[in-house]
Amino acid sequence: MGAVRGQLGWGLRRLWRVAAAAAVLVVLPQVARAQIGSDRYSSIVIDVASGTVLEQASPDAPRYPASLAKLMTLYMAFEALRDRRTSLDAIVPVSAHAAEMEPTKLGLVPGTRLTVDQAILGLVTKSANDAAAALAELLGGSEDRFAQMMNLRARAMGMAHTNFANASGLPDERQMSTARDLAVLARRLVSDFPGDYRYFSTPSFTFQGHTIFNHDGMLRSYPGADGMKTGYTEASGHNLVTSAVRGGVRLIGVVLGAGSNAARDVHMAALLDQGFEAMGVPVEPVRPTLVASRAPSLIGTAHAATLNEVHGATLNVAHATAAKPAPAASGWGVQVGSYAIERVAQETAQSARRAAEAGEVRIERVTAHGVTLWRAQVVRLTAARAQGACGALAHGRTPCAVLRPEPGQVASR
């Protein structure tokens, strides 16, 4: 039986590697297919003020939440703070059980001095499983008892298709939720704890001399995004809940079962763009490193748009160091952001050129709706060089997009 599960797991991993690769190379008229055809995918976008559903795909299908379960752990922590059952500076005991949690973790050991504030920060940034278990034991006496409390609260919220088995979201076949239920939970976090919601925007915090960065790339890549949570297990795929506000409108999106972090983030951005448009809120005319399509239905569709057609804007493009015509094999490139200052764009592009170990720097001046930006690019690369450079830059937390040979077309993020 174990061998069968091992073979199945290997097969799934191989399938998702292929799907992720397809998403990385997505161009017009192709689409990102990491989500399509997967029995793990579902999504929903809601307006926070009214609860109106703006977009959905299999929103009530059971899914493994992975670390999105920590959203309920955080809700319970905020509730305890509100009711004065604990305080931010209260010490969270670290048991052997909590210390033994699998990564991702803060590296807690029994006797570690950890405050409630630090535990919350550990959950929202690093998604620390040891901090989640320790916080559960503080608030519930044991993690099992805390899971029961989580389920009682979920029922009270109307999360009828959710069952929690632990505070962290670590794999447990009993632990299930849906995109709709998770959107309900996220909406309650925003509305019930507006003062504590600020935690989800934390870019980093320092613990025991180490700086811990937030895993949520949407905070850096999507204008208006200010939280919430990422999640991943092999069984769940790549999950994400994002809340973003523009023009006085706040939306919450849930994407479950994507094939990679990149595919997940691109898809979330596309869904939120469509949601804001449905609410009458103009979408940003130019977004650094990411241009998503405005197709009528974006479920499973997060393909690139030609930069000169971004959201109907009229773009005036002039490059400072134009690339000479190149054969298709070396016509690829990378884009590493759009900047208000040309010098910053030039420096960023030079750094990307060093990462690619080939190519030429190109700076594009883009004017849209009276706003001038400078796109930092490296061109005249092979496909392998471009993809390798973006991989290295992303590993170093530099946003990157692969440019196809067709002039000015973003292939992937």
Tell whether 18 is covered by a domain: no
Q: Which domain holds residue 220?
A: 42-278
Indicate if 206 and 349 belong to the same structural domain. Answer: no
Tell whether 74 is covered by a domain: yes
What's the CATH number where 68 sits? 3.40.710.10
Structure tokens at 160: 């009828």
Tell whether 5 is covered by a domain: no
Tell whether 391 is covered by a domain: yes
pLDDT tens across 294-349, in order?
222 222 222 222 222 223 332 333 333 333 333 344 678 888 877 778 887 888 88
pLDDT tens across 328-340, in order?
446 788 888 777 7
Q: State yes or no: is 127 an active-site residue.
A: yes
**Total number of domains constituting the chain:** 2
Catalytic residue selected from 43, 127, 168, 177: 127
Indicate if 75 and 184 belong to the same structural domain. Answer: yes
Indicate if 257 and 336 belong to the same structural domain. Answer: no
pTM for this model (two decimals): 0.64
pLDDT above 50: residue 28: no
Catalytic residue selected from 42, 58, 70, 105: 70
Catalytic residue selected from 42, 43, 58, 67: 67
Indicate if 140 and 254 belong to the same structural domain. Answer: yes
Indicate if 352 and 265 belong to the same structural domain. Answer: no
The reported pLDDT for the residue numbered 340 is 74
Q: How far apart are the first and last CA of the chain?
A: 39
The reported pLDDT for the residue numbered 383 is 75
Indicate if 184 and 125 belong to the same structural domain. Answer: yes
pLDDT above 60: residue 365: yes
Indicate if 326 and 263 belong to the same structural domain. Answer: no
Indicate if 131 and 240 belong to the same structural domain. Answer: yes
What's the CATH number where 328 sits? 3.30.70.1070
Average pLDDT, the chain: 79
The reported pLDDT for the residue numbered 1 is 46
Q: State yes or no: is 191 an active-site residue.
A: no
Count of CB atoms situated within 10 Å of the CB of 124: 23
Q: State yes or no: is 67 an active-site residue.
A: yes
The reported pLDDT for the residue numbered 371 is 67
